[in-house]
Amino acid sequence: MSKSISAPLARTARLLDLVPYINTHQGIALKELAKHFEVTPAQMNADLTTLWMCGLPGYTHLELMNLDFESGFVSIGNASTLSKPRAITFQECVALLLGLDLIASSLPSDRQDLLTAAQSLRQRLTNILGLPMKLSVEANTSGAVGAAIAHAIETSSGLNIRYHALYKDQVTERTVVPVNLYEADNHQYMHAFCSTARDYREFRVDRIDQATPADVSAEFPAKSDSTEKISFSIKIMGSSRDVMERFAIAHSAIGSSMEMSSYSRQWIERSVMASGAAVLLSAPQEIRAEIAKKAQLMLNRYKEA
């Protein structure tokens, strides 16, 4: 339920939802019921006491719900009007539809059974929504890759991956031992020991095309700090949203200079190239020279053609 709902209303909703739940879980322990509804047993006791007073007009034992919870176990009778689960709200339906789409797009393609079930649920939820709105989510990673990584982490085992290294623009096959998964800047990353590089590396999960179990002796050398960050500075020559997003900077006043650092020389070079006239790399000198050389080489080619 949305946070904007007041405490008495949230409690009303809980009481309404309690009836159908007890109805299908007759004899449930009060403690367990409290846990399911995320309240204390004392609160649950108070809720049940309130509910016990409710019923159809008339309010004799014939019309009141027949609620029994003194023994510590809860059962209900005579609850027919409220005995079915409540309809889900618009927002709840949207949340489930978007979530389902994510799950469906994460499922391995050979699980047709689950894909069909997800599709059928989506159809039914869309009918409940009753609106011609479009909701969709595309998973960042293929389900097979995500599942393989999770399994490897759990069992401290190795993986053969095919990885597109964007900065080097190379697709390589590597053997890795994944350590953990984490999210940063809206992307999922895998922290892993790369047997090929003999060091820890970060991999963007959506750039892993394939992941299959690999036989490795899982020995983890102490984290080496052999990779050093390269400091560089840029000067903004032209404002653009792309430049701000590429260098992850909050402001881009023309003429302003910024100090930054990166692990990848290639990333620095390519990012400046991609920014064209909008960014000037002031340091380091070697990368400046490399950019000037490469740009001139490309220009020559365009002149020849």
Q: Among 62, 131, 197, 283, which residue interacts with another protein (rule: CB under 8 A)?
A: 131
The reply on whether position 61 binds another protein by CB under 8 A is no
**Tokens 């080496």 appear where?**
224
The reply on whether position 135 binds another protein by CB under 8 A is yes
The reply on whether position 241 binds another protein by CB under 8 A is yes
The reply on whether position 256 binds another protein by CB under 8 A is no
Binding string, 21-40, against another protein, x = CB under 8 A?
x-xxx----------xx---
**Of 70-78, 195-203, 211-219, 267-275, which segment contacts another protein by CB under 8 A?**
267-275
Report the residue number, 29 or 102, with the smaller CB distance to another protein: 102
- From CA 24, how far away is CA 75, in angstroms rounded? 9
CB of 202 to another protein, least distance (A): 16
- From CA 165, how far away is CA 147, in angstroms rounded? 21
144-203 residues near another protein, rule: CB under 8 A: 146-151, 153-154, 164, 166, 169-171, 183, 186-188
C-beta atoms surrounding 142 within 10 Å: 20
CB of 242 to another protein, least distance (A): 6
Q: Among 60, 109, 132, 250, which residue interacts with another protein (rule: CB under 8 A)?
A: 132
DSSP 196-215: TTTEEEEEEGGGEEEEEEE-
Query: Of 166, 187, 163, 191, which is closest to residue 177 (Cα–Cα)?
Result: 191
Q: Which two tokens stand for residue 112?
A: 């047709």
- From CA 112, how far away is CA 107, in angstroms rounded? 9
**Of 13-21, 70-78, 210-218, 220-228, which segment contacts another protein by CB under 8 A?**
13-21
The reply on whether position 56 binds another protein by CB under 8 A is yes
**Maximum separation of any 2 CA atoms in the chain, in Å:** 97
Report the residue number, 170 or 217, with the smaller CB distance to another protein: 170
CB of 221 to another protein, least distance (A): 26
**With CB under 8 A, what is the number of residues at the site for another protein?**
123
- From CA 102, how far away is CA 93, in angstroms rounded? 14
Q: Which two tokens stand for residue 223?
A: 């984290």
Q: Three-state SS for 119?
A: helix
Contact by Cβ (8 Å): 23, 81 = no
The reply on whether position 248 binds another protein by CB under 8 A is no
Q: Among 74, 161, 177, 281, which residue interacts with another protein (rule: CB under 8 A)?
A: 281
Query: Of 149, 163, 142, which is closest to residue 208 (Cα–Cα)?
Result: 163
Binding string, 214-233, against another protein, x = CB under 8 A?
--------------------
